[in-house]
Chain A
Amino acid sequence: MIYRESGQFITSYQADHRIFKLYQQRWAFYALLGFAFVIVPFIGNDYWFSAILIPFLVLSLAGLGLNLLTGYAGQISLGSAAFMAVGAFAAYNFQVRIEGSPLLVGFVFGGVAAAIVGVIFGLPSLRIKGFYLLVSTLAAQFFVTWVLTQFGWFSNYNASGVISAPSLLILGHDFSSPAGRYLLTLGVVTVLAFFARNIVRSELGRHWMAVRDMDTAAAVIGIPILKTKLLAFAISSFLLGIAGALWAFTYLGTVEPHGFDLSRSFQILFIIIIGGMGSILGNFLGAAFIVLLPILLSNLSANFLAGVVDPGQLENLQKIIFGALIIFFLIKEPNGLARLWQLFRERARIWPLRF
């Protein structure tokens, strides 16, 4: 009986449309947001901001983007990193070519550019399905990296093809300090997560799920497959593009096309497998897991296994653990960490009773 829904009656349609229907959930969520926005910037140090919190937030957003496509609309993709790259380079070019353009508009432009590229590579999904679609997204992955390295225009003729973040100014406020970059990322991710949460419970979201479960059946009951699939690609790529721009601007500062290679796509796929497909919260849990596990492993081996495990082996060990975890999750909990959290909440509701 940690919390109960008894006595909370829904008496209006508006109340029925709330994301968090119980006031306990609502207040917990507000408290979490307040903590992240107000308290964390004061208590966090630079290491926490730059090495843990910012990559966690950006990867959560990237996971969110892929989850809309794979978890909700059922179109498997191995090209997420390519769409991130498009977003990063488009936002960069927008900033460089147009003098004094606002930063946030640049992010949106990056997202829109990624969405257009996403729709182009999503077009084959109308005719081909399942594993055959992997080829289309892999084509995106290799083609985009090639274009971005091949043509110097995209990196403003930088000799090594690297782009550097412009100054992070919004309405005259400088967000270049680690805490500022954290706040900027957090703000963007919060808004987009809210956007995504609302899309998946709209008509479009239900269309996606129908297509995921069986697209022939969805077509038979009159769901427009063309529009649904292409919108899935567009919105997913939009989020991935903004994640890419954030990755380049607020996390790394400088980035090259090869920073968005196939292994990054795998990383994002692992986030949604571990976090939970078809869940918004799962992306955050999965991203936290992916960011924290390597840090935890290297700390563990530095403190307890110093001299036993040679540092070169650490990377191999990490690979083995990741692979084993993927298989473990797929076998034991196909709905990922999000499902574990849900089970925990249901337990907490009836505690101390078991059933």
Chain B
Amino acid sequence: MEFFLEVLTGGLLAGLMYSLVAIGFVLIYKASGVFNFAQGSMVLFSALTFVSLLERGVPFWVSFAVTLLTMIALAWAIERVVLRPLVNRPPITLFMATLGLSYIIEGVAQAMWGAQVHGLELGISDAPLEIGGMLLSQFDLFSAATAGILVLFLSLLFNKTRIGISLRAVADDQLAALAVGIKLQRIWMIVWAVAGFVGLVAGLLWGARLGVQFSLSLVVLKALPVLIIGGFTSIGGAIVGGLIIGASEKLAEVYLGPIIGGGIENWFPYVLALLFLLVRPAGIFGERAIERV
């Protein structure tokens, strides 16, 4: 039982790391209906930029600010070059455009900063901490706290600021938002910039965990089932989905793995997400689409 709880909590904490990536997706999907496959590359790009600046002797907060500015510039460029010409196209086209975008971002990131693995030290030890008889990683606790703060910050942004209210208006009904004079293009830029910021935070945490390298862009594949379970349009859903995926993945690896063979964490979340979909086709918190002919 002790062991079970320890695996479960470890999985839940790891799941929050998935949620961090998934939140970036949800933001963009809500505001512009774009399924942004490039979120993983944005995570990689921001982490690589940050680490490379750090390695060149730039102080922590300065590199953080510079990376954030880069992500904002990237959001501006994406809005201008990719999203604006593709306005009113079917969602599938936009998805494929973000696929192309992810190739560009990955190529640029590696061409600029090289393909080697960079270590990233955030100054938080990974030593286990004993809480209530369970051994928990300090780093996991730290990233869980970060995810919590981020969600708090985002919900404040969405509910209390003028920008946030226009973001929600756009998410609700683009045409109506346009009609009351909300600048759609500006909203898109802001939302991509915020997603870039979320990507930066996720990139730092994941980078500190795995090392900053190309495989960081593959966390997008972990975030997909999280999104499916939580629903594409709900930040709370992303968190819950992350927890479910994280916990079940770890439990499956520990209890199911020895029976059917190791390495199942690659596909297990997907099968789980599929089972969820068969019961609830729009995820737990997703909006059920009503179709009219």
Contacts and interface: CB of A to CB of B under 8 A. Distances in A.
A and B bind: yes
Interface of A: 76, 124, 127-132, 134-136, 138-139, 142-143, 145-146, 150-151, 214, 216-217, 220, 262, 266, 269, 273, 312-313, 316-320, 322-327, 330-331, 334
Nearest to A262: B221
Given A139-B273, A330-B89, 15 more contacts: A130-B91, A139-B274, A142-B267, A142-B270, A143-B270, A216-B293, A262-B221, A266-B99, A269-B96, A312-B115, A323-B102, A327-B81, A330-B97, A331-B82, A331-B85
Interface in B239-293: 261, 263-264, 266-267, 270-271, 273-274, 277-278, 281-282, 291, 293
B270 A322 contact: no
Interface string B138-177: 0000000000000000000000000000000000000000
A150 B277 contact: no
Interface residues of B, number: 45
A292 B110 CA distance: 23
Contacts, number: 118
Contacts of A269: 96, 99
17 contacts: A129-B281, A132-B277, A132-B281, A132-B282, A135-B277, A136-B274, A136-B277, A142-B270, A145-B266, A150-B263, A220-B293, A269-B99, A313-B111, A319-B110, A326-B99, A330-B96, A331-B85
A132 B228 contact: yes
Contact of A131 (B81, B91, B106, B263): B91
- Please report whether the interface of chain B is mostly helix, strand, loop or mixed according to DSSP: helix
Nearest to A137: B270
Interface in B205-261: 221, 224-225, 228, 232, 261
B103 interface: yes
Nearest to A217: B293
B277 A128 contact: yes
Contacts of A146: 263-264, 266-267
Contacts of A143: 267, 270-271
A171 B179 CA distance: 71
Contacts of A76: 92, 95
B72 interface: no
B100 interface: yes
Contacts of B95: 76, 131
Contact of B100 (A216, A262, A327): A327
Contact of B104 (A145, A150, A323): A323
B107 interface: yes
Which 5 A-B pairs give the minimum distances between C-beta atoms?
A326-B100, A323-B103, A319-B107, A139-B270, A323-B104
A32 B102 CA distance: 38
